[in-house]
Amino acid sequence: MTNQLPLVSVPTLLINTSQCIQNIRKIHNKAIKGSVIFRPHFKTHQSEVIGHLFKQEGIACITVSSLRMAAEFAQQGWRDIAVAFPVNILEMDVINDLAAKITLSLLLESKETAEYISQRLQHKVQVYVKIDTGYHRTGINASSVDEIGALLDFITRLPNIECKGFLAHAGHSYKAHGSEELERIYSYTLAQLKLLQAQFSAKYPNLIISIGDTPTCSITKSFEGADEIRPGNFVYYDATQLFIGSCRLNQIAAFMACPVVAKHEERKELVIYGGAVHFSKDLLNHPVYGACYGLLAEWTNEGLKLVEECFVKSLSQEHGILSASVSYLDTKKPGDIIYVIPVHSCLTAHLMKADTLYF
């Protein structure tokens, strides 16, 4: 028997905490088995409640995506925080505040930035060298061994900076489908970093490898060879992860509850209170529906079930337009609540921070 859902009157993000705990334990157990540090990314939930669930599972070190988020979680008692974003040198005051209180890890990819922060640091920080293993968002190309070596030599001589190792985010896994492709991306990312680790092991024997996007971390059977993993989205999952193949439907722990405000039978649509300011505008190219901003679901005794032939077809600022089957449409009227699995739970959770209920 599943829990009752909370009653809502405005768009609300509902979080299934027992499923979150299961999602955390699944990755955590795999991390323990592979003897890697589990440093979950907190940008997905940005939530004190979910942070507490991680703490209860024995997690002590975390990842965030901004210094502001680091300050927020430091305030909530976290003492080992990595900011997995190229360091913003305009925030030296925040960096120094944090470094005075916690073990702070930053991301570097250039000598200029390294030198700049080193000269202004009042306390020691740890740094990762950011490596690009194929996503091409940021970082030094894994194959640019000379450049990486020169940066390592430069950093390790600077005061107040301690180099931890190499960090990569294989974000191209979000374009993959199925476990085979994900396993391949995972292995290749790890292999590139292992090569680097080996290349510099004589000079720098303690450099670690930090990896971990949710798709590959969910699928790969073992983390052996890595030293640290940093997935984030896995705590909630979403429609995108379902389509990549990183999760099953019943692992999705976050969904939106939205009031129906109008019904248009002639074009088989429901208008919901729930728009771009609630869901964000990330979209999924669904094989059947095309552009899809959310999947319709129902909460049953067995948990979440997808409603066939129903999806969010467009979003404006506050309106969502739900394309619905005739049979579904017949059961709904203004004032009813419908449930939608978001396309990207990180962005939805960010927008819904003040309107989240945990059950």
Give the footprint of a second copy on this chain (CB under 8 A).
Answer: 8-10, 43, 65-66, 68, 85-91, 109-110, 112-113, 116, 136-138, 171, 259, 261-264, 267, 271, 273, 276-277, 280-282, 314, 316-319, 321, 333-335, 346-347, 350-351
Q: At 168, list the tokens.
A: 């990569």
> What does the angle CA 226 – CA 175 – CA 215 come to, to the nearest 5 degrees?
40
- DSSP code, position 336: -
Q: At 24, list the tokens.
A: 């955390």
At its nearest, how many Å lie between a second copy and the CB of residue 250? 26
At its nearest, how many Å lie between a second copy and the CB of residue 261? 4
At its nearest, how many Å lie between a second copy and the CB of residue 252? 19
Of 198 and 354, the one with the shorter C-beta distance to a second copy is 354
Of 194 and 263, the one with the shorter C-beta distance to a second copy is 263
At its nearest, how many Å lie between a second copy and the CB of residue 262? 4
Of 122 and 222, the one with the shorter C-beta distance to a second copy is 122
Residue 242 and residue 178 in contact, taking contact as beta carbons nearer than 8 Å: no
At its nearest, how many Å lie between a second copy and the CB of residue 302? 27
Handedness of CA 214, 109, 72, 55 (dihedral sign): positive
Of 26 and 281, the one with the shorter C-beta distance to a second copy is 281
- Going by C-beta distance under 8 Å and a sequence separation of 6 or more, which residues neighbour residue 346? 43, 44, 232, 233, 236
3-class DSSP state for residue 232? Answer: coil
Closest-CA residue to 275 (of 289, 259, 291):
259
At its nearest, how many Å lie between a second copy and the CB of residue 81? 15
Of 252 and 321, the one with the shorter C-beta distance to a second copy is 321
Which region, left, alpha or beta, applies to residue 152 given φ > 0 means left and ψ of -120 to 50 means alpha? alpha
Of 215 and 259, the one with the shorter C-beta distance to a second copy is 259
CA distance 54 to 46: 12
